[in-house]
Amino acid sequence: MAANTSTTRTKKNVNKTDTAKPAEVSEPIDHKEIDITRPELYINRELSLLAFHKRVLAQAKDQKMPLLERLRFLCIASTNLDEFFELRVAGLKQQVAVGSVQAGPDNLSPQETLNRISVAAHEFVEEQYRLLNEHLLPALEQEGIYFLKRDCWNKAQSKWVRDNYDNELWPILSPIGLDPAHPFPRILNKSLNFIVSLKGKDAFGRDSGMAVVQAPRSLPRFIQVPPELSEHPYDFVFLSSVIHAHVEYLFPGMTVTGCYQFRVTRNSELFVDEEEIDDLLRALEGELPGRRYGDTVRLEVADNCPEKMINFLLKHFKLNQQDVYQANGPVNLNRLLSLADLVNRPDLKYPSFKPGIPSSLGRNLFSTIREGDILLHHPFQSFTPVIDFVRQAATDPQVLAIKQTLYRSGPDSVLVDALVDAARSSKEVTVVVELRARFDEEANIRLANRLQEAGAHVVYGVVGYKTHAKMILVVRREGKKLKRYVHLGTGNYHDRTARVYTDYGLLTCDEDIGEDVHKMFMQLTTLGRGAKLKKLLQSPFSLHAGLIKRIEREASAARKGKPAHIMAKINALVESETIQALYRASAAGVKIELIVRGICCLKPGLPEISENIHVRSIIGRFLEHTRCFYFLNGGKPEVFCASADWMVRNLHKRIEECFPLETPELKQRVIEQGLKLYLEDNSQAWVLDSEGNYTRLSPEDDTQVVSAQQTLLQMLAEKA
């Protein structure tokens, strides 16, 4: 391994406390004396999620990163915050509206949680614009990339902007003067709008004093100035600046006294009562348009907007002062994401790379899989073998059936192309499409219709349970027998996200695993009780109990004075019974090392409770998405990969798969590359303390820098 496998000395950005090296396991104590249900032992779920978004935002101020990638992280953080309000804050507001006081393990009521979110989210927004205005925009200007303000346009640029307005904006703008005959227009979720104050009377003698201008959603939020008119290598103007500069032309004969951008965020959760409908697809199609006009949960306005106009908007949208966020810049920061595609500066971006392909892979994947299991680690290794697996199955005359789950696959999926070809070739193709994959519902409806038109059998899973498992089953005739080939993964069948999400995928023809996957597909497509699985653990039936059993087995070993060790890499840790089992195991003396990318409701390092638990989060170039678990098991280690996180929804309310790695080589790969390497990371790791706070690690001057993602790129990927 390219990484330093010795103990790594690190320092925090705040101080030089050595936190990268796990503490020695403390003496076991009698866990029966500990009350592990006390609220102070738990971190609030929503506040932990917001803390993750702050760690993403912190990447934007890391000067060691390429500049355009820093801007990208700012945009990602903005998008994350949008979704946080659309779903999590919206849900809490609904609970408050119906008078709910139900609290989670942390004992915070919905209203108390909203109050704390408001404080943290306002700090978040303030930091966003501080980073943009004081760090990123000046740094971009040093590289010749300018966003020109209105007062900086020269004569030629002003004329070009006016021509752009006349040709591109004027024909499609529809300003609405507010009066009894022109009520406040319906405002689309997250759209760019302007509230305009006016003086004077129009041609009909009306004097309402206010109007709303809605920016067309079809237009980009910033426009590049032609090179012949640019004073720098790259000059851009914001669409909002163009509208501001010409807003008076929308109200001839009147005086514009103010023009301020604003945006509202709405509840984007879809509600469909599955027990009361006959066709889930049609019901969701009917619900999707309503997402654009759900209840408002947040108002963003320009920071120079007068209080009188803010109060007017708050009253109209039925919000309060806690819900208003003032923006010192564009209200829709995530639209800046396209800048990286418009600027040809490779030196300001991450170096390109070509994902590696294991040398063991032959042209015929079925014969290669028969020789031994194949483990792929994306994006360091290519997703192409997964695509080829389905493509070869679609064209192989010996393949009789293909079954696959689709949660998120993208609107133009090459995998769906292969499934369509297979169905048209008269193969038995069965696809479980999860229509309720949040924000991908519309794309999944189109995929389902396309597959059905090709002759595939399409089902939507199980009523009341999302199908989140990642499985492909290929049934092939070989001689006089039928043989099953399987792909199981931790991530979605999406060829583009496979380039930026870290995930594991297993290709195998193990008979027991093939039979288990067959049984799971039977559960998803038919009625009846599920059969017992031989090797896979499955939510909502055996996965939660299987995890608890293994955690308790390690605890039992520790109480007997035997070595006990748990390592897990997951995206979220929320489920309270699992947390309590980890607390009991820690108190018994089990060494527990957790790599939790996002939400973590467990508090590590609490005396006599969790002092043997260490939690870190890795934030880097790629979104950490692998879920893998290790249990020492008395010297016979068990290693699993899974589609599920340790959350209530994954363990109890979804169909998930968790598969063992049994080949010694593949098992060791996950231990070394998927777990230990991340525990050695001292450059992209954030350590969680017993107070619920995260601190970023950085290496001492004389310590080797360890970046798990960079090391894996060097080990597994090919050079660009």
Supply the residues annotated as catalytic.
Answer: 468
Residue 263 belongs to what H/E stretch?
A: strand 255-266
- Angle at CA 568, nearest 5°, toward 624 and 53? 40
101 CB-side CA count, 13 A = 0
**Distance (Å, whole) CA 391 – CA 292:** 37
Interacting residues of 204 by C-beta distance below 8 A, sequence separation 6+: none
Q: Name the token pair of 86.
A: 């659309």
The number of beta carbons lying within 10 Å of the beta carbon of residue 538 is 23
Q: Report phi then psi at 246, rounded to 5.
A: -125, 15
Radius of gyration of the chain (CA): 28
Q: Smallest Cα–Cα separation from 295: which of 75, 92, 50, 78?
A: 92
The number of beta carbons lying within 10 Å of the beta carbon of residue 470 is 25
| DSSP letter, residue 718 | B
Q: Write the DSSP assignment of 267-302 as a string of letters.
A: -------GGG-S-HHHHHHHHGGGGGG--EEEEEEE
SS3 179: strand
Asked if residue 28 has a cis previous peptide bond (ω within 30° of 0), the answer is no
Q: How far is CA 554 from CA 128, 569, 631, 632, in A?
A: 44, 17, 7, 7
Using the structure block, give the residue that is written with the tokens 């310590």: 703
93 CB-side CA count, 13 A = 24
**Distance (Å, whole) CA 605 – CA 513:** 38
Do residues 430 and 521 make contact, with C-beta atoms less than 8 angstroms apart? Answer: yes
Do residues 294 and 267 make contact, with C-beta atoms less than 8 angstroms apart? Answer: yes
Q: Report phi then psi at 34, rounded to 5.
A: -100, 130
Question: Strand 685-688 relative to strand 694-699: parallel, antiparallel, unpaired?
Answer: antiparallel
Q: How far is CA 171 from CA 166, 255, 403, in A?
A: 7, 21, 50
Helix count and strand count (H, E) for the chain: 21, 28
Torsion angle in degrees (nearest 10) through CA of 545, 108, 569, 352 = 140
**Distance (Å, whole) CA 612 – CA 31:** 13
Q: Name the token pair of 249.
A: 């032309």
